[in-house]
Structures are given as structure tokens and as C-alpha cells.
Amino acid sequence: MSKYVIEGGKRLVGEITIGGAKNSALPILAASVITNGVSTIFNIPKIKDVNVMEQILKSIGCKVNRVDNIMTIDSRPFSKIKIPEDLVREMRSSIILMGAMLARCGQVEISYPGGCDIGPRPIDLHLKALKELGADIKEAHGYIYCCTEQLKGCEIQLDYPSVGATENIMLAAVRAKGTTIIRNAAKEPEIVDLQNFLNAAGARIYGAGTSAIRIDGVEKLHGVEHTVIPDRIVAGTFMVASAITGGEVILKNIEVEHLSSIIAKLKEAGCKIYNNCTTLKIIGPKRPNAVESIRTLPYPGFPTDMQAQMIALLSLANGTSIVCETIFENRFKHVDELVRMGAKIKTEGRVAIIKGVKELTGAKVTAKDLRGGAALVLAGLAAKGTTIIENIYHIDRGYQDFEKDLASLGADIKKIF
């Protein structure tokens, strides 16, 4: 398996252009199934999860052509309702194909999804909502079979503002008969991007980005051209990379509003940040300040996908910080690996208490999940000596050419195959 070898202590300086958002590209690619036409998606990141989604689309009959960061999907040849189990188990986001395929042909067969092991992520909200829309769902032997003669619009009250459930409902309801209203909907920017794609294809969706989304069902959708929004988590990761190395990094092609909660906490940690709408400059401090409290919350709160990276930064802070993880209960797997590098962190349930140390030291560590793996890379950039990170296939799921971008900023990092 490939691994990263990092010689720490290099200050990062330079410019980086942020690519398309993984968590936006995947549901949009799923939505292309509904169009029964040709769609061209720009700013598609070259990452493992997108590769898996591409294979899934091909497996159900779609024609996919990919050149650099542009993907063209012809969903007219769509012919199969069963999604291969091996692909579903590689990526949790495959579950959003349920809504898309119900909208397209009224049936789908899919196994329970995989992805990072960061705690229970039940799909009961997805299944409950699809049943309310009129889907008949049977579960047996690890598979879910959904079918319907006609989905019908209804009002759906989500018990929790789940991003995946919100997306699945939008995809299913777009061709349902009548009007669907989602209450307590997720507000993430990726939801807005999905709405923009679907509306450009002929859908009638209103309210994405708020807690109430209205979908008026339409007879059909058509192919469309669309550009995926920048990845706010990748941007946040590079912001922390600059902060943890005392660097000076400029990020281009960003949406500053999507980063407001991250910016606030990094300023609290002592970073200097200057920005306009699409560009941001972050200057890291000589040593970070401790942050009294970080609590992960649904958007626009502090993102759970940035929790691990911030813990890496705060492990070097002057003082004690507290991080509370409210989204996923098993998302502190990176802590034991950071402790191997000299960090002083204690976890109690969903709370991590980080007592900052003056320096981290290089060690051999293992990435346990996507964002935790990225946090270990950041720690390695600041650590004294050599850090070796194994199982980096997790990191490849969400970061395009991560080591090349870091090296362009002055990091001493190599990917060994």
C-alpha cells in the first residue's frame, strides 16, 4: 500500500487553487441519472470517491467520458437497477442513488453502503422519507430493494438535518406527482449546488440553504452543463496547513461565506486572515493560541469534517483546548496516532481535551479515516523529524494530488508506492 513520508519543519508559502467539492460532485453525478440526457459537469475533483461513482454510473448503463476535471454523462442508455455491491461498500455516498433511480425508473436494488468507519450513520431517515413518498421498501440479506409505480409529493419532517437524507428526498421528489416539502432540511452549500443543477435541468426546487425546501414535481428533466462549487473542507485543510507551519498561504477559487465558522476559529487560534469573495490569505502564528471550545454542528456551525485537522493544530497550542464532537461518536480515531507523535490529548466520550505541547515528533502512524488521515499529514508537516503515514488510500478518497499541492507550497512530502 502507498504511504506518505514527511520531513517536518518546513514553513508553507505560496498559492493554491481549490478544486471542486467532493460532497457536491457525488450527488450531482447521481442526479445526472434522472435527466435521461447528456450532462457535462465541470470542476470534478480527481479523487477515489468520484472514481467509484463513475464506475457505478457505468455499471448501470450510463456512458461516461472524463477529460481532466470535466465529466460528461449520457444517461439515456441507463439499463440496470442493481448497483454492484463491491462499489457500494467502497463509498457511503452511493446511497443517494436510491432517490435518483426511483425518480428515473421506479426501482433500485442496493446493498448497505460502506465508507469511513466514523460511527453509526443509519440510513433510516432515508428509508422513512422514501416510504412517505410512496416507495415500497424490502430489506433482506444485506440488500435494500425499493420500487414504486408513482412517487407522490408529501410533507416530510426530518428528525435530524441529514445532508444525505435531504439529497435523497430532493432526487426522488423531483419527478414525483405533486409537491414535496422537506422540513428541518440540511442547509449545507452542497444542497444549494444540487438544487442549482436540478433546476438548470428543468426541476422546480425552492429554498435550498434554508430549513424548508419545496419541490414541485415535473414530468422530465434534460441534460445540462454545471460547474461544481469549491471544496470548503479542502480549503479549510490548507488553511490549517498554513496555520500549523506558521506559513503564509493564499487560497484561490473559494467561497468565503462557506468558510465562516472555520475562519472564526482560526482567528481565535491567532491566525491573520484577509479575504475577498473568492480569495483568502492566511498567515499562521509562531505558536497557536488555545481555543476555549469547538463544537461540531450542522452547517453553518463548525464542520465535523474539520474537527480532526483543528485538533492537530491545537495539539501545538499554548494552553488547553476543548473539542466536542456532536455529529459522529467515533470520530476521534486520529487522537491515538497524534499521541504517538507527542500530543497530549484525552478523550471522554464525545469530548477531546487537548493540552498543547511545544513540539510534535515524527513517528510511524496510520490513517484510520479520510479527515483523520489529513490531520496526521498536517501534524507531520509541523513535527520534528520524519513522519510516515500508512493507509493513505483513505486520504485519496477526498483530496486530489494532496502531496503535490503541499510540495508546491514548500512541504517536504513524498508519496511512496
- List the binding residues: 22-23, 92, 121-125, 305, 327
The half-sphere exposure of 319 on its side-chain side, counting CA atoms within 13 A, is 11
Residue pointed to by grid coordinates 426530518: 158
Write out 148-173 in H/E/C secondary structure. Answer: CCCCECCEEECCCCCHHHHHHHHHHH
Dihedral over alpha carbons 29, 219, 182, 131 (to 10 degrees): -90
How far apart CA 23 and CA 46 sit, in angstroms, is: 13
Nearest to 302 by CA among 252, 268, 348: 268
* Pairing status of strand 351-355 against strand 344-348: antiparallel
- 277 assigned to active site: no
Known binding residues for phosphoenolpyruvate are: 22-23
Q: Note if the bond before 300 is cis, omega within 30 degrees.
A: yes
Find how far residue 229's CA is from the centre of its chain. Answer: 12
CB 11 within 8 A of CB 410: yes
* Pairing status of strand 3-7 against strand 279-283: unpaired
Q: At what angle do helices 189-200 and 22-35 cross, to 10 degrees?
A: 20
Known binding residues for UDP-N-acetyl-alpha-D-glucosamine are: 92, 121-125, 305, 327
Residue pointed to by grid coordinates 457536491: 24
* Active-site hit among 116, 146, 147, 277: 116
Nearest to 379 by CA among 396, 394, 364: 364
| Per-position b or e across 88-109, b if 16+ CB within 10 A of its CB | bbbbbbbbbbbbbbbbbbbbbb
Cα 138 to Cα 80, 111, 130, 176, 215, distances in angstroms: 18, 12, 12, 20, 26
How far apart CA 206 and CA 242 sit, in angstroms, is: 38
Q: Which three cell numbers stand for residue 411?
A: 512541504
What amino acid positions are annotated as catalytic residues? 116
